Amino acid sequence: MIEYLREAFLSLGANRLRTVLALVGLSVGVSAVIAIQILGHATSGAMTGVFQGLSNYTFIIQPNFQNGFDSKSGVTTAQVDQLNSIPHVVQAIPNTQLTLQAKVGHADAQLSFAPVGGDPNFYPEPFAHGRPISAQEVGAASRVCVLSNFAASKLNLDPSLLDGRMLRAGPIRCRIVGVLSKPPQGALNLNFAPDVSIPYTLFERLYFRGSSKVYAMQVLVDDPSNIAKAEDRVKKYLSNLKDGKYTYQTFDNQFLANAFNKIFLVLTVIVGAIGAISLVVAGIGIMNILLVSIAERTREIGVRKAIGGKRSQIMLQFLMEAAALAFGGCTIGTAAGLGLGWWINSAYIVKISGVTVPLQWQASVALAVIFATVVTAAFGLYPAFRAARLDPIEALRYE
């Protein structure tokens, strides 16, 4: 086997230009396919960082307004509480936002306010200062609140100095107990998080009356992996509550990201197809090299067969040349594809959302190995078989 491999390298080295051209074609094809696979995954991950403001443990549900708004599709706050009995649902609360002119000391700014539950998993970001609103404070409708990092920026105040200070906005008077961390920043961040979160029980007391209807709810689940199951069950529960007259739709962190991912998937398939075409062209180049090599070494093949060389030995010799070309091209292409994917991911894609997505290099290496095997089998087998079938007498007469 080592002798066959040595002869393969000697033959390829004797035709450097053809070998280099074949390697370049194969390397470009492999690197393009691998880079596109990596960048498709990285872009998909970046899209999940573009849409901010919802915790991975929560989703929003509201009536489907495709046929227009209908006030009868709303539910009462008591009916919102009934959602807590659904499997995987930890807590359901009204979801709405309102904008008020708020003051902290002498600083003032327009801030958005929204209700929040007593579980830390309601918050989309970890805490930079202070703590979350406790379940006991929610139960007592305490006048406490949590600020986002953007709220501190709007107020032009140091987040580390806000803990314990009083915030005033219309009928709201609350003591600040925590400030969230700043979310990842990129060029396309869309943040739906409120500036100020207050206990949903306090929000209901201030803004919901007995006849008020809730048209959007935020639902907290026990585990992010159960969100899809919980969404289906909550939608079915609310629809049955309205005797099937209304349908409901849900939104979570993956909803809008998945819509963008479908667009990127189409682009990935198109560019991947171009890379696959270049691989076919490179494979044809390998076949051409082997066929030319057979023509140039016809007499040598005749001598080998005349002194007892077997067809399997002749085939193996030329298959080793195809394998050497395929392995070399795929190795170079894999390194180039990984390097290109890493550079674009770290230099550009991370700027979209501020989220760095780890490269899926294991799958890329596996892809390169499969390509090497397919190219060897598809484009090296025919020339090797043709060489093995040469008639030794005709080969010895060949000029």
pLDDT level of residue 65 (50, 70, 90 thresholds): confident
3-class secondary-structure state, position 274: helix
- pLDDT tens per residue across span 197-207: 999 999 999 98
pLDDT bucket at 135, cuts 50 / 70 / 90: very high
> What confidence score (pLDDT) does residue 4 get?
54
Instruction: Check residue 1 and give its pLDDT.
Output: 58
**Residue 54 vs residue 358, higher pLDDT:** 54
pTM reported for the whole predicted model = 0.64
Question: Binning pLDDT at 50, 70 and 90, where does residue 143 land?
Answer: very high
E strand residue ranges, the chain: 51-52, 58-63, 89-94, 98-104, 107-116, 127-130, 144-147, 166-169, 172-180, 190-191, 196-199, 217-221, 248-251
How does residue 102 score in pLDDT terms, banded at 50, 70 and 90? Answer: very high
- Please give the pLDDT value at position 191: 67
Q: Look up residue 143 and give its two tokens.
A: 């006048």
Mean of the pLDDT values across residues 39-60? Answer: 73
Give the per-residue pLDDT at 397: 57
Q: Of 88-97, 175-184, 227-236, 259-268, which range is least confident?
A: 259-268
Q: What is the 3-state secondary structure (H, E, C) of 55-89?
A: CCCEEEEEECCCCCCCHHHCECHHHHHHHHHCCCE
For the segment 273-300, the average pLDDT, to the nearest whole number, is 72
pLDDT in the model for residue 346: 75
Alpha-carbon distance of 40 to 35, in angstroms, equals 8
Query: Between these two residues, 113 and 48, which has the higher pLDDT value?
Result: 113
297: pLDDT confidence band, cut at 50, 70 and 90? low
First to last CA, the chain: 30
When pLDDT is averaged across residues 323-334 and rounded to a whole number, the result is 82
pLDDT of residue 28: 80
CB 39 within 8 A of CB 337: no
- In whole angstroms, give the CA distance from residue 350 to residue 359: 12
pLDDT at 394 exceeding the cut of 80: no
- Report the pLDDT averaged over residues 337-341: 83
* pLDDT for 10: 62
DSSP 175: E
The candidate with the shortest Cα–Cα distance to 338, out of 370, 310, 361, is 361
The answer to whether 27 touches 337, Cβ cutoff 8 Å, is no
Q: Give 175-212 pLDDT, tens digit per residue.
A: 999 999 987 765 555 667 899 999 999 999 998 876 67
User: What does the pLDDT look like over 7-45, one tens digit per residue?
Assistant: 656 666 666 777 777 778 778 878 877 877 777 777 766
Contact between 150 and 119 (Cβ < 8 Å): no
pLDDT at 83 exceeding the cut of 90: yes
d(CA 372, CA 105) in angstroms, rounded, equals 69
Q: How many CB atoms lie within 10 A of CB 195?
A: 26
* Predicted confidence (pLDDT) at residue 148 exceeds the cutoff of 80: yes
Q: What percent of the chain has pLDDT over 70?
A: 74
Q: What is the pLDDT of residue 167?
A: 95
Mean residue pLDDT across the chain: 80
pLDDT reported for residue 52: 64
Q: How many CA atoms lie within 13 A of 88 on its CB side?
A: 16
pLDDT value, residue 176: 95
pLDDT confidence band for 351 (50 / 70 / 90): low
Per-range mean pLDDT, top range of 1-15, 120-134, 342-356? 120-134
